[in-house]
Structure 1
Amino acid sequence: MIDFEAVLGSIYDIVHVTDAEGRTLYCSPKYGEYFGIDPKEMIGKPIEEFYRLGYFAPTITMRVIRDKKKVQTIQTTLRNRRLFVEGTPIWDQDGNLSGVVNTSIDITEQEQLQQELNEVKYIGTLFQSEMTKEKGRQKGNTCLIYRSQSMQQVAVMAEKLAQVDSSMILLGESGVGKGVLAKYIHECSPRVDKPFVHINCGAIPETLLESELFGYEKGAFTGADKDGKAGLIEKANRGTLFLDEIGEMPLALQVKLLTVLQDKTITPVGSSVSREIDVKLITATNKNLRKMVREGKFREDLYYRIHVVPLEIPPLRERREEIPVLIHYFLNVFSQKYCLERKLSDVCYPILEEYDWPGNVRELENVVERLVVTSHDSLITPAQIPRYIHNQQSSAHNGVKVDRLMQMQDAMDEVERQLVQRAFEQHKTTTRIAEALGISQPSASRKVRKWVFTGE
């Protein structure tokens, strides 16, 4: 007589059978090896009970019962095994659902092999990026990782502008990598062997900013160093001066900075003697300086002096093709830094690529570091990705939700207001806003005036 259990065991790693309510009728003896559950404990109990306890995810039996059709998925078990599962409905003679049969095959090793193949692909992309980057410089070690056409244009322009001494300003949201690009420009320039001084104008207290930037003579003020001190601008002499968050600089210091740019001289605090200075100036901001000029918060003459060549870095959500490359890069960086061997499961990449990354590359870097240091296993799974990233992915597919009644026109105006304001925050120009919202540029211009500038 044929032993059907032995036959099934030779074809599938796991066979699991439930009734029409999802209660277990049978499961293979090897269930415990893959799931960490004694098969005898499951008999007669709802399979959902074990799903809620975290023995596996996602669930498949209840989906088959609900949809009344065959369902396939990939499950991750408590013992970190990856199983390809097929759930098949069983019908009685009257056409009623009588149960579900789940058959599972272990694909953990196949997934790891695929992971290695993907890593080869990503390494090839990184190598291509490095080759593109190396064409523009032979010195320095700043890593500019890009894959999108928009960032390639930024990199090419940066390499070209590095060869001249014109002042340039880097524009873009917080975290897009303005500091990295500034260092890259310096390393592509003839000044690469000279100092690169990075000053965050928003990180130094206003009371100390002048003395830190311009330096001071001995006895210039109470508490000053008895020998005086050279300022950061002077330390950048013959090199590159990078003023990050230039919009945070007080108006009084903007006048002194303008003198430095116009006269190529610097006067320390407490001194009447000017010193010649030669720097390539790179500034950066995530603020609307033109608007600040209109509001009297930023000097117009300084604005035009630093705004000679603007270079805008697009946010990460507009160059999503770079997300897997950056993830792979940061995985290597932090795995080496903390002496840990960590890899990301393939199913994690789509989740991370769909997230909007409001903190841009800096946020992505922080998330990858968190995954590396908090993971207990070498393979990082979706369960370890922060909940807020999953939540955005879920809400993105749920559409607009209504939680109270209002007049139809009021509701339409409110949705339009939020869409236009968010589009303006992300894209700034009416041409790009029009493309994002699928409307004409004149229409986008009218809506921006209505909802952004007038607040009607």
Structure 2
Amino acid sequence: MNYLENIYGINYDEFLNLVDNFYEAVWIYDNNYTIIYTNSATERNFGKLAKSYIGKNDLEEFYEKDWDPRLLPLVYKNKSTYISRQNTPTNSTIQIATPIFDIYNNIKYVILNVRHLLDNSDFHIPSSNAIELNDVDTNVSDSIFFNSTSMSNMMKLVQKICRIDATVLITGESGTGKTMLAKYIHNISERKSENFVSINCASLPENLIESQLFGYTKGAFTGAVATGKTGLFKQAHKGTIFLDEISELSYGSQAKLLHVLQSKEFTPIGASSPEKVDVRIITATNIDLKKMVEIGRFREDLYYRLNVFEVSIPPLRERGNDIEALIYHFLHE
């Protein structure tokens, strides 16, 4: 708080007001299930005044019929962060429970974030399935080699997000291995038995990108293949589509991609009706998309849809410890 107050002039009351206006509902518990704080978003999700929960015991306030599985018992028992999707008759939520420790590594508080999903599309986690985010398998595939701490931390993040069926934005300089990492995320995800389809957005002119992504019907335009063409999104149905150099996508094509993300459907050129598609989208860029948003070259709404999770690959010059591992691999390949 001292930093916020000294640098930004934000005092304690103003800070609480900021948290109170989060879109996500925030619950803070002591070390034994007692609710000590909730923000105003809890009123939207649960229909009761936030202050009415203060001092209540979570085990008494909510029952198995309300939240299943219960994350708090798992957090208190295993001292780990858990995430779960909860479906109720009125809405669907993503819940993340995070323990906060004292200097003796005992749980002092637990923070529970509850996000109401407007269209059930932000995250895809099986209902009634709690995923532990701290205890992950850090073994890597035969295609990724490293010794550095920075790459180890990055791979731990990748191991976590592979279990959550959301969009991933991979950033990094040219040659850092963004395509390889995208394939790796697919290969350890629940979609690994389905197709991995890749396209470089900079390799196709604007007048071809839509037909490549969405396909076209027989006779859709002059010069079209007589039998029509299956687009990459349809080829990737149930699997993963990787859009490399996403920054090169034109503004018009960005709007069409945003529509797919929002509606889970696309319309082939020449078709009269849309087709549903179930696909995970991974994108990559070596350009700062935030700056492109600021100058109006990239849609802000699309940026946030693509950037649910961001994985940044450090360049080799910043991880010298990996050079030996790479040399050993190539010498014995």
TM range (shorter): 0.5 to 0.7
Q: Find the counterpart in structure 1 of residue 146 from structure 2.
A: 146
Ranges of 4+ aligned residues in structure 1 off by more than 6 Å: none
Aligned mates of 1:136, 1:164 — CA distance in 2:
16
Q: Given the alignment of the two structures, is residue 170 of structure 1 paired with residue 167 of structure 2, yes or no?
A: no
Aligned mates of 1:142, 1:210 — CA distance in 2:
35
Contact 1:162 1:189 in 2 (8 A): yes
Q: Find the counterpart in structure 1 of residue 237 from structure 2.
A: 237
Aligned mates of 2:227, 2:151 — CA distance in 1:
46
Q: Find the counterpart in structure 2 of residue 221 from structure 1.
A: 221
- Secondary structure of the 2:311 match is strand
Q: Find the counterpart in structure 2 of residue 4 from structure 1.
A: none
Q: Given the alignment of the two structures, is residue 307 of structure 1 paired with residue 307 of structure 2, yes or no?
A: yes
Q: Find the counterpart in structure 1 of residue 257 from structure 2.
A: 257
- Secondary structure of the 1:283 match is strand
Q: Given the alignment of the two structures, is residue 266 of structure 1 paired with residue 266 of structure 2, yes or no?
A: yes
Q: Find the counterpart in structure 2 of residue 39 from structure 1.
A: none
Contact 2:264 2:276 in 1 (8 A): yes
Aligned pair count reads 198
Pairwise CA distance, 1:135? 4.2
> Deviation string for 1:147-188 (max 9, x for gaps)?
111101111111111111111101111111111111111111
Q: Find the counterpart in structure 2 of residue 291 from structure 1.
A: 291
- Secondary structure of the 2:332 match is helix
Pairwise CA distance, 1:192? 0.5
The one-letter code of the counterpart of 2:238 is R
Aligned mates of 1:327, 1:167 — CA distance in 2:
33
Contact 2:137 2:159 in 1 (8 A): no
Contact 1:142 1:183 in 2 (8 A): no
Contact 2:168 2:281 in 1 (8 A): yes
Aligned mates of 1:242, 1:159 — CA distance in 2:
18
Aligned mates of 1:213, 1:137 — CA distance in 2:
34
Pairwise CA distance, 1:136? 5.6
- Secondary structure of the 1:173 match is coil
TM-score, length of structure 1 as denominator length:
0.42
Q: Find the counterpart in structure 1 of residue 45 from structure 2.
A: none
Aligned mates of 1:162, 1:246 — CA distance in 2:
20
> Deviation string for 1:266-299 (max 9, x for gaps)?
1111112101101111111010111111111111
Q: Which has the larger radius of gyration?
A: 1
Aligned mates of 2:326, 2:177 — CA distance in 1:
12
Higher RCO (CA < 8 A, seq sep 6+)? 2
Percent of paired sites with the same residue? 49
Q: Find the counterpart in structure 2 of residue 325 from structure 1.
A: 325
Contact 1:154 1:311 in 2 (8 A): yes
- More helix per residue: 1 or 2? 1
Structure 1 residue runs without a partner (length 5+): 1-133, 334-456
Aligned mates of 1:142, 1:297 — CA distance in 2:
38
- More strand per residue: 1 or 2? 2
Pairwise CA distance, 1:331? 2.4
